[in-house]
Amino acid sequence: MKQLTLNINDNKFHAFLEFIKTLDYVEVPEVNKKVLDELQNSLNQVKLMQESKIEKQSAKDFLNEL
């Protein structure tokens, strides 16, 4: 089986996904929504840190949380 990566505009993604699910020769694996939401939240925090909009956490504080 071959694999293909596509970039789809956010406003067209759902419609495209529903369309390709109708094709019997395309396999669309299920995605864990909670994991994706947490990952998106983390990426948003990194972006805010890079823009100096939120304070960066020290490595020591991070390790203490673990």
pLDDT in tens, the chain (66 residues): 899 999 999 899 999 999 999 999 999 888 788 888 899 999 999 999 999 999 988 889 889 988
- Residue 23, token pair as written in the block: 């094709």
pTM, two decimals, is 0.49
Amino acid symbol at 34: K
Q: Is residue 1 part of a domain?
A: no
- Residue 9, token pair as written in the block: 């505009």
Q: Is residue 31 part of a domain?
A: yes
Q: Is residue 40 part of a domain?
A: yes
Q: Is residue 5 part of a domain?
A: no
Tell me 32's DSSP state.
Answer: -
Number of domains in the chain: 1
Domain coverage including residue 58: 10-65
The pLDDT value given to residue 45: 93
Give the 3-state secondary structure percentages of the chain, helix then strand then coil, rounded to 5: 55, 0, 45
